[in-house]
Amino acid sequence: MSIFHKIEVSGITEGFTELGFTAGDVTLNYVEGPNNGFPLLLIPGQMESWQGYKCVLPELSRRFHVFVPDLRGHGKSTWTPGHYSYNICGNDLKDFIQKVIKQPTLVAGLSSGGVLSIWLGANAPDNVLAIIAEDPPIFSSISPRIQSEKFMSNSFKVAIDVLGKPGERDITEYLSKMGIPAEGKAELLMIPPFILSLISFMYRLNRAVRPNHPYDVPFLPFNIRAGSKFLSEYDVDFSCATIDGRLSEGFSPDETLKRVKCPMLLLRADAYRHATWGLVGAIDDQDLECIISLVADLKYVQIPGRHEIHMTTPDRYIEELTRFIDDLKAKGRLPH
């Protein structure tokens, strides 16, 4: 999508409405598009709010009735420190389908949202027509394994240490401590200080000139601008829960995958293993083999590029999602 970098983080996508849904101890903020077909629930990943899907919402809303919630602890939804797990968030979404969407739904999610899409397929089978799981770390994010995945756990620890400090969150400090593994080197490759200084200056200038668009810095890609917003508005205890095992408490990846009977599309981004840092990505080759062996009705597509496929390669994401759904329609596997 040649114009995706021009899409603004600020504002509501045309044709969409921002609403709230309250159930028990949580109110989920969400956006809803026009009723143009099958309901499609899009589930953001950890550290992502509904705006992460803005690159794909206009096109998807032409064919589907799109709903995108902020998970608890994210965006404008309720923060519930001490109460974050796949089971808790899964039940939030099950209630959302039953009480807001009110009919069987296509479910798509990124990362932990992808794990939750699989959770719904296993635990709310009457409410789910099909699953699109976008690079879900369904094995690698589970305790105790995540503690041994050094790169993944380090990313969460940096977020906890920097963004968990009192006061306004310092996104520049966060970026300064994030790095990527380099082949043959034990140390992470960090962002050069002069680039960090330039980004920081651009953000300060943009906020002074356009205070109503604090994250929409000119020339920066959408995923970087949106990511700055997401980092400023999520509860870091969600990341704590990932590291200390609360997120995966009472959740069995193998048993959950076995119970998925609806059609499932698995989108896998680039992944490899580093000698020092372990898995760089969400799904290693052994994980992939396990998913393929456990899900009865699975289509698998490898997509080169970054983890957040719908943000960085939105055209490909739309293409694969719509092809999958069109194929199910053609085979009479979706209701008329």
Residue range 127-149: mean pLDDT, rounded: 97
Whole-angstrom distance between the N-terminal and C-terminal Cα of the chain?
31
The per-residue pLDDT for 61 is 98
**Which among 141, 138, 116 is positioned nearest to 243, based on CA atoms?**
141
The per-residue pLDDT for 5 is 61
Q: For a pLDDT cut of 70, what percent of the chain falls above it? A: 99
The per-residue pLDDT for 6 is 80
Q: Round to whole Å and give the CA distance between 79 and 56.
A: 27
The per-residue pLDDT for 38 is 97
Residue pLDDT, tens place only, 193-210:
999 999 999 999 999 999
The per-residue pLDDT for 1 is 42
Q: How high does pLDDT run on average in the chain?
A: 96
Residue range 156-176: mean pLDDT, rounded: 95
CATH superfamily of 4-148+245-330: Alpha/Beta hydrolase fold, catalytic domain (3.40.50.1820)
**Domain boundaries of the chain, sorted by first residue:** 4-148+245-330
Question: 271 with 283: CB under 8 angstroms?
Answer: yes
SS3 label, residue 262: coil
The per-residue pLDDT for 237 is 98
The per-residue pLDDT for 2 is 43
Confidence of residue 24 (pLDDT cuts 50, 70, 90): confident
Residue range 228-234: mean pLDDT, rounded: 95
What pTM, to 2 d.p., does this model score?
0.97
Residue pLDDT, tens place only, 33-77:
999 999 999 999 999 999 999 999 999 999 999 999 999 999 999
Tokens of 257: 């995958």
Residue whose pair of structure tokens reads 């949202």 in the numeric block: 113
Beta strands (DSSP E) in 219-324 are: 264-268, 272-274, 278-280, 298-302
With 90 as the cut, is the pLDDT of residue 327 above it?
yes
Residue pLDDT, tens place only, 268-323:
999 999 999 999 999 999 999 999 999 999 999 999 999 999 999 999 999 999 99
Peptide bond before residue 144 is cis, with ω within 30 degrees of 0: yes
The per-residue pLDDT for 3 is 47
The pairing of strands 26-32 and 17-23 is antiparallel
For every residue of 59-70, DSSP letters joined together read HHTTTSEEEEEP
With 70 as the cut, is the pLDDT of residue 10 above it?
yes
Question: 114 with 45: CB under 8 angstroms?
Answer: yes
Q: For a pLDDT cut of 90, what percent of the chain falls above it? A: 95
The per-residue pLDDT for 4 is 54
Tokens of 66: 């799109």
With 90 as the cut, is the pLDDT of residue 103 above it?
yes
Peptide bond before residue 193 is cis, with ω within 30 degrees of 0: no
